[in-house]
Each structure stands twice: as structure tokens, then as C-alpha cells.
Amino acid sequence: MSLDEFALIERIARRTRARADIVLGIGDDAALLQPAPGQQLAVTADTLNAGVHFPAESAPADIGWKALAANLSDLAAMGAVPAWCTLSLSLPHAEGDWLDAFADGLFALADASGIAVVGGDTTRGPLSISITAIGQVPAAQALRRDGARVGDDIWVSGHPGEAAGALRLWQQGRLDVRGVVADAAHERLRQRLQRPMPRVSLGLALRTCAHAAADVSDGLLADLGHIASRSGVAAVLQADAVPLSAALRTALGDAAALDCALRGGDDYELCFTAAPERRQAVQALAADLALPLARIGVIAEGRGVHCEGDAGAGRSGYRHFAE
């Protein structure tokens, strides 16, 4: 079933949740929103292109989920509560079934995180999804990349490298990313690539606990490098402290698993620094959220990221335009 632009927008508009702070939603020249008093806005934009940011054969529901997840992860890394987003969708064909499946994935995550789609457009073109997400955070409470202090512990959530591991398996022809696979370890990795879970609750809890945070979208070394350079400090990482999942090690072997964890993108975990006095509080948080939080290094005087025990040293994180 082929739809025109207005029918496509209508199909998205009727799926989105209501929020009391939406004065006027989709259907006018712009949405009107009422920000809460005392809050700052956290604003982020991410684009996912077919064949660049996800395998072109990915299920549309997975594409919808992941496009929003990438943005929510940025809000999580700021300690912001997701509020509203715009969705710009370029589609080669105006296919109702495809759009419904895409919306299934997108709104599954949107509804779980409380964010509403308040605008956007659909255009004809190669498949591309641009989302701008807006969150709210009380003034002066946002997590930033530039707050790391010498002596801080470095922490990471979850098991970095699993998404990159799934991508490698797919590139090797060993993983079908279009849907559920039988092998439990491979399915776990596929889920991490296709349905990453942004760490919104963790970000909110870290407001009172962490000095600096970033999400791990470019790779742990690269994103830790952003924290180090913005904070004017060095990050010293212990490679053997980076938590590698059994699924990743089994699938790729220890050396490749570590390489994925350090240099792979798309993890959407949070990397953060906190004072050593906060270790118990961070560990309590891990228990509360049922989310592993691993202490993987320390912040020191100096510059750059130093990774002790990393055989692949010298290579950096994933860059789209790098040669």
C-alpha cells in the first residue's frame, strides 16, 4: 500500500503518546511545548542511514527502535529525562506495512521511556532516519563530559563490545540480523546490536553520584577520550577490568572480544567517572538497576587515554569518514 506524505505523517501522529506539556502536537507548522519551570533542555540529534549505521536488511521494527535508542542514549548520558522528539524519515517507497513495523519498534521504546513524537516529516529518498530528542534536566545537575577529576574511578555499564561483536559476526556471514536466531549467545549479541537499551535510569541516578559521563557510541576508548580531553585530564584504563560477556568471548575469542569492547561502536552503555568515596553508592545503584557497573580505570593528571594490557594499542574508535 502506497501512501502520500500526509498519510505517512498521520500514521506516525496517531501512534504517539499524549503528554500534558504538549500544547499543540503534530499537525501545525510546529509543535508547541511547555517546558517545566527550573529545567534546562538537553537537545541531541542522530541520523541513521541504511548500510552505514545498520545493515540494510534489518527488520524495520529494529531500525525504529535503534534510531530512537541512539538519541535516548545521549539524553541518558546527560542525566536528562526524555520529553519530546522530532522524526525525519526518508523512505525510498511509501510503504504502509514497512512504516507500521518501523513504528512498532520506535514506539515500543518511546512509550517505555515517556518520550512523545511532536513533529517531523517524511520525504522520498534513500532510507535514513534523523531524530532530534529533547530532554529536561534541573539547572546545574546535568552530567557533562568535562567534569572528570584526577583520582576519579572510571566506570562502565553493561558489557561493552557486544554490538560490535554482532556486527563482526554478520560481516563474517555467521549471524542473520533480520530476526531472532536459535543460538542463545548469538541472539544476545544480535539484540545488543539491533535493540540496544539506552541507560536512561542510570543517567538519572548518576546526577548525584558521577563527575562526568558519556555514552559509548563511538567505542569505549574514543568516548573515554572525549571525557579526558574535555576535562583536561588523562584516563588510565585497565583492559583486563573491562567486563567481557561470555557470549562475546565464546563467539569471537578473547582478543577480538576485547578489541570490540575497546573500539567497537554502538554499545550505548554509559561510561562515567566518580570519586572513590562513591564506590559503594555506585555498587548499590548496580544492584538497584540490575545492571552491571564495572570499575575499569582511574583518572590521572595528563592527557589522553592510556590502556594497560591492550594488545591492539594505537588504533582508535570508529570514525565514519576515517580511511
Residue numbers 190-229 binding a copy of itself by CB under 8 A: 213-215
Q: Are 58 and 48 in contact (CB under 8 A)?
A: no
CB of 113 or CB of 245, closer to a copy of itself: 113
SS3 for 193? Answer: helix
d(CA 314, CA 209): 32
Q: CB-wise, 166 or 227, nearer to a copy of itself? A: 227
Minimum distance, C-beta of residue 182 to a copy of itself, in the bound complex (Å):
33
Task: Rule CB under 8 A: say whether 2 interacts with a copy of itself.
Answer: yes
Q: How buried is 138 (Cβ within 10 angstroms: 0-12 exposed, 13-18 middle, 19+ buried)? A: middle
Residues 235, 225: contact at Cβ < 8 Å? yes
Rounded Cα distance between 139 and 252, Å, is: 44
Binding residues for substrate, by number, are: 53, 266, 318
132 binds a copy of itself (CB under 8 A): yes
Annotated binding site for ATP: 120-121, 145, 217
Q: Which of 129, 135, 102, 97 is nearest to 116 (CA)?
A: 135
Closest contact distance (angstroms) between CB of 50 and a copy of itself is 8
The answer to whether residue 120 forms part of the interface with a copy of itself (CB under 8 A) is yes
CB of 54 to a copy of itself, least distance (A): 12
Instruction: Report the distance separating Cα 64 and Cα 71, nearest Å.
Output: 12
Residue 266 is a binding residue for a copy of itself (CB under 8 A): no
**Of residues 10, 136, 108, 70, the one with CA closest to residue 269:** 70
Rounded to the nearest whole angstrom, what is the least distance from the CB of residue 180 to a copy of itself in the complex?
Answer: 28
Backbone phi and psi for residue 318, each to the nearest 5 degrees, phi listed first: -75, 125
Annotated binding-site residues read 29, 44, 46, 53, 74, 120-121, 145, 215, 217-218, 266, 318
Burial of 253 (0-12, 13-18, 19+ CB in 10 A): exposed
Closer Cβ to a copy of itself, 95 or 187, answer by number:
95
Tell me how far apart the alpha carbons of residues 128 and 89 are, in angstroms, rounded to a whole number.
6
Q: Map residues 49-78 to x or -, x wherever contact with a copy of itself holds by CB under 8 A.
A: x--xx-------------------xxx-xx
Alpha carbon distances (Å) from 294 to 39, 122, 266? 31, 41, 18
User: Near a copy of itself by CB under 8 A, which window of 99-107, 114-122, 231-239, 240-248?
Assistant: 114-122
Q: Which is nearer to a copy of itself, 98 or 241 (CB)?
A: 98
Give min distance, CB of 129 to a copy of itself, in A.
9
Among 58, 86, 194, 245, binds a copy of itself (CB under 8 A): 86
Closest residue by Cα to residue 8 from 86, 91, 68, 84: 91
The footprint of a copy of itself on residues 24-53 (CB under 8 A) is: 24, 27-35, 37, 39-49, 52-53
Q: Determine, following the binding rule CB under 8 A, whether residue 181 of this chain makes contact with a copy of itself.
A: no
> Which residue, 84 or 170, is less far from a copy of itself as judged by CB?
84
- Shortest approach of a copy of itself to residue 20 CB, angstroms? 13
